[in-house]
């Protein structure tokens, strides 16, 4: 493959990099207690929510930015240079989707998420979040018939304050870590899901996050509660326009599973990753945690991380209930100057709890890709079991792949197994496929997809197809 060709392919456009020209209602840059009050006021929040924010903000002030324990390298973040609230201007209340600004509908359509009643994705309910606010949620009424509450977080605070109050901040406390505290103070929107006892959600739920304003950060908060015996599959996707400056995305996701409940949470993360020199892109500092509170409960995290300049993310499971199960399936792909430090924590507290971790890291270009994980068997977690597999693939000799697993076992009946390996696409494999008539690109794509199969298998079908295409696109021209 000629150098010119490689460059052509490597420089391929990030196809979600456009900016929507829409008038927005944004507050001035900067962060202070007034900013927190202003956000709360704009959202018309009750007093207790404001208190929650202020408590978090005051604690955040006492914390230091976590410096350099992660295998990441990024410049200081100036919190006074960020717009903490930006919402597209629109009519006061929306009776139906028809009243949503057509420009917004077009934006989401372009992103492959049609919100129109006629064109909606079948059997997937979507909550679309644009900068700081949720602009539309589809199939809301149909879900309510089944008893499932699916709405924006702001709406939940207004409509279901008791549920929000009972669960918010119980999995990720406001003082958990620097970015979680920041999020708790300034979060603007996100999704709220409540599946009552014994209900299986009749469709997949999904949230689509879009950052549009070049100066804003996105601080969303998601809360999913599955009562006894409930089941839900939830997926999220994210994109952002191409800007030269870095933007901060600091989200908090809390999942709560009671007895016999199951939550499946899938992410396809494709934030703008910056250009090949590492200019611009999203700093993705996310705290995701699930509490398997009930007996026999199960939480499964599946993530495909392909975007963001910096990813700092450890979706975790606290396995409190006896026999509860935690799963983590991850594909993390980094190219150019991207850096990712991602993994999971499985905290085994209950008896006979089980966890499975499958992590596939692919690094190309000059990127830096790390798996960091913790498996902890507490003294009471009798009979607990863990299986961990971390595989890395390196493409080119300018990138790095790292594995940092922490395993802590404190009783004599639990077992933990960890395996990791590193490999690359071998010349023989490529040769074999090419002599069968596949182009080099297709051959690489096929090998990568085989490498990631264990994870893709866990994704809902439409997203699995999407994820495979995404990986192919991201890596084009990396091998040659």
Partner 1 sequence: MKEVETEAGDYAAAFERLRENPSRFPAWIEDLRRRALEQFEAVGFPTVKEEDYRYTNIAPIANGEFQPTIDFDETRRRARRADISSLIYDEARGSRLVFVNNVFSPELSSTEAVAGDIVVEDLAEAIHGEHAAMIKNFLARGAETSGDDAFTSLNTAFMTSGAFVLLPKNTETKMPIHLLFLTDATMSKVATFPRVLVIAEPHSRATIIEEHKALNEDAAQSYFSSSVVEIYVDDEAHIVHYKVQREAENAFHVARTRAEVGRASTYNSTTINLGAGFTRHNINMNLRGAGSESWIDGLFFGQGTQFADTHSLINHREPHCTSHQSYKGVLNDKARSVFNGRIFVHQAAQKTDAYQSNKNLILSDQARVDTKPQLEIFADDVKCSHGATVGQINLEELFYLTSRGVKPELARNLLTYGFAEQVVQKIEVESIKRQLDEVILNRLHTTLDA
Residue 134 or 403 having the CB closest to partner 1: 403
CA 222 to mean position of chain CA atoms: 10
416 makes contact with partner 1 (CB under 8 A): yes
Instruction: Kindly calculate the radius of gyration of the chain based on its CA atoms and give it in whole angstroms.
Output: 22
Among the listed residues 403, 443, 459, 471, the single contact to partner 1 using CB under 8 A = 403
The piece of 94-102, 181-189, 233-241, 406-414 that touches partner 1 (CB under 8 A) is: 406-414
- Please count the other Cβ atoms lying within 10 Å of the Cβ belonging to residue 246: 19
Least Cβ distance, residue 327 to partner 1 (angstroms) = 20
Least Cβ distance, residue 469 to partner 1 (angstroms) = 24
Least Cβ distance, residue 379 to partner 1 (angstroms) = 7
The piece of 87-95, 241-249, 321-329, 413-421 that touches partner 1 (CB under 8 A) is: 413-421
Among the listed residues 175, 411, 429, 449, the single contact to partner 1 using CB under 8 A = 411
Is the four-CA dihedral 14, 453, 302, 413 of positive or negative sign?
negative
6 makes contact with partner 1 (CB under 8 A): no
**In 3-state terms, what secondary structure has residue 469?**
helix
Per-residue string for binding with partner 1, 347-386, x by CB under 8 A?
A: ------------------------------x-x-------
67 makes contact with partner 1 (CB under 8 A): no
- Two tokens, residue 16: 């979600």
Residues of 405-439 as b/e, b for ≥16 C-beta within 10 angstroms? beeebeeeebebebeeeeeebeeeebeebeeeeee
395 makes contact with partner 1 (CB under 8 A): yes
Among the listed residues 61, 408, 434, 442, the single contact to partner 1 using CB under 8 A = 408
Per-residue string for binding with partner 1, 418-457, x by CB under 8 A?
A: xxxxxxx---------------------------------
Least Cβ distance, residue 128 to partner 1 (angstroms) = 40
CA 1 to mean position of chain CA atoms: 35
How far is the C-alpha of 265 from the C-alpha of 225, rounded, in Å? 12
- Whether 360 and 454 have beta carbons less than 8 Å apart is answered as yes
Least Cβ distance, residue 407 to partner 1 (angstroms) = 5
Residues 6+ apart with CB under 8 A from 41: none
Quickly tell me which residue has 């995305």 as its tokens: 249
Q: Is 163 exposed, middle or buried (0-12, 13-18, 19+ CB in 10 A)?
A: middle
Among the listed residues 10, 54, 407, 473, the single contact to partner 1 using CB under 8 A = 407
**Closest to 475 in 3D by CA, of 438, 425, 434:** 425
The residue count for the chain? 480
Residue 182 or 395 having the CB closest to partner 1: 395
- Whether 467 and 459 have beta carbons less than 8 Å apart is answered as yes
Scan residues 311-340 and list those touching partner 1 (CB under 8 A).
none
The piece of 3-11, 43-51, 337-345, 397-405 that touches partner 1 (CB under 8 A) is: 397-405
DSSP E strand boundaries for 15-169:
24-26, 86-88, 124-130, 133-137, 149-152
How far is the C-alpha of 389 from the C-alpha of 394, rounded, in Å? 17
Least Cβ distance, residue 301 to partner 1 (angstroms) = 22
Among the listed residues 170, 415, 434, 439, the single contact to partner 1 using CB under 8 A = 415
- Two tokens, residue 313: 């993310």
The piece of 6-14, 211-219, 241-249, 407-415 that touches partner 1 (CB under 8 A) is: 407-415
480 makes contact with partner 1 (CB under 8 A): no
Least Cβ distance, residue 358 to partner 1 (angstroms) = 15
Among the listed residues 175, 214, 356, 402, the single contact to partner 1 using CB under 8 A = 402
Residue 288 or 385 having the CB closest to partner 1: 385
> For binding to partner 1 (CB under 8 A), which residues are involved?
69, 377, 379, 392, 394-424
């Amino acid at each position: 493959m000629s150098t010119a060709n490689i460059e052509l392919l490597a420089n391929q456009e990030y196809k979600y990099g456009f900016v929507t020209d829409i008038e927005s209602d944004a507050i001035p840059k900067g962060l202070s207690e007034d900013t927190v009050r202003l956000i709360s006021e704009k959202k018309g929040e009750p007093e207790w929510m404001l208190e929650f924010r202020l408590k978090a903000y005051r604690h955040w002030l006492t914390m230091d930015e976590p410096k350099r324990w992660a295998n990441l390298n990024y410049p200081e973040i100036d919190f006074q240079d960020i717009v903490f609230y930006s919402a597209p201007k629109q009519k006061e209340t929306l009776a139906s989707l028809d009243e949503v600004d057509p420009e917004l509908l077009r934006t989401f359509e372009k992103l492959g998420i049609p919100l129109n009643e006629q064109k909606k994705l079948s059997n997937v309910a979507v909550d679309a979040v644009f900068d700081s606010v949720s602009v539309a949620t589809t199939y809301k009424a149909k879900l309510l018939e089944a008893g499932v509450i699916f709405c924006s977080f702001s709406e939940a605070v207004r409509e279901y304050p008791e549920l929000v109050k009972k669960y918010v901040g119980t999995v990720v406390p406001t003082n958990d870590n620097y970015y979680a505290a920041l999020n708790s103070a300034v979060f603007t929107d996100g999704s709220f899901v409540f599946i009552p006892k014994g209900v299986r959600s009749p469709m997949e739920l999904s949230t689509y996050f879009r950052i549009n304003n070049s100066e804003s950060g996105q601080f969303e908060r998601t809360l999913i509660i599955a009562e006894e015996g409930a089941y839900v599959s939830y997926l999220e996707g994210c994109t952002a326009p191409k800007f030269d400056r870095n933007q901060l995305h600091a989200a908090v996701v809390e999942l709560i599973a009671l007895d016999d409940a199951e939550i499946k949470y899938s992410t396809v993360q494709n934030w703008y990753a910056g250009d090949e020199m590492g200019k611009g892109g999203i700093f993705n500092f996310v705290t995701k945690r699930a509490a398997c509170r009930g007996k026999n409960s199960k939480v499964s995290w599946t993530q495909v991380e392909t975007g963001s300049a910096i990813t700092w993310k450890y979706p975790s499971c606290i396995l409190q209930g006896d026999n509860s199960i935690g799963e983590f399936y991850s594909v993390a792909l980094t190219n150019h100057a991207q850096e990712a430090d991602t993994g999971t924590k499985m905290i085994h507290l209950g008896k006979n709890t089980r966890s499975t971790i499958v992590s596939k890291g692919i690094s190309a270009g000059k990127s830096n890709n790390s798996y960091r994980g913790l498996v902890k068997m507490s003294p009471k977690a009798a009979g607990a079991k863990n299986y961990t597999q971390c595989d890395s693939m390196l493409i080119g000799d300018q990138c790095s792949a790292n594995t940092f697993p922490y395993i802590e076992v404190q009783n004599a009946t639990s077992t933990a197994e960890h395996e990791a390996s590193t490999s690359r696409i071998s010349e023989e494999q490529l040769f074999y496929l090419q002599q069968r008539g596949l182009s080099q690109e297709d051959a690489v794509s096929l090998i990568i997809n085989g490498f990631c199969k264990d994870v893709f298998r866990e994704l809902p079908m439409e997203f699995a197809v999407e994820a495979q295409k995404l990986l192919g696109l991201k890596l084009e021209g990396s091998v040659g």
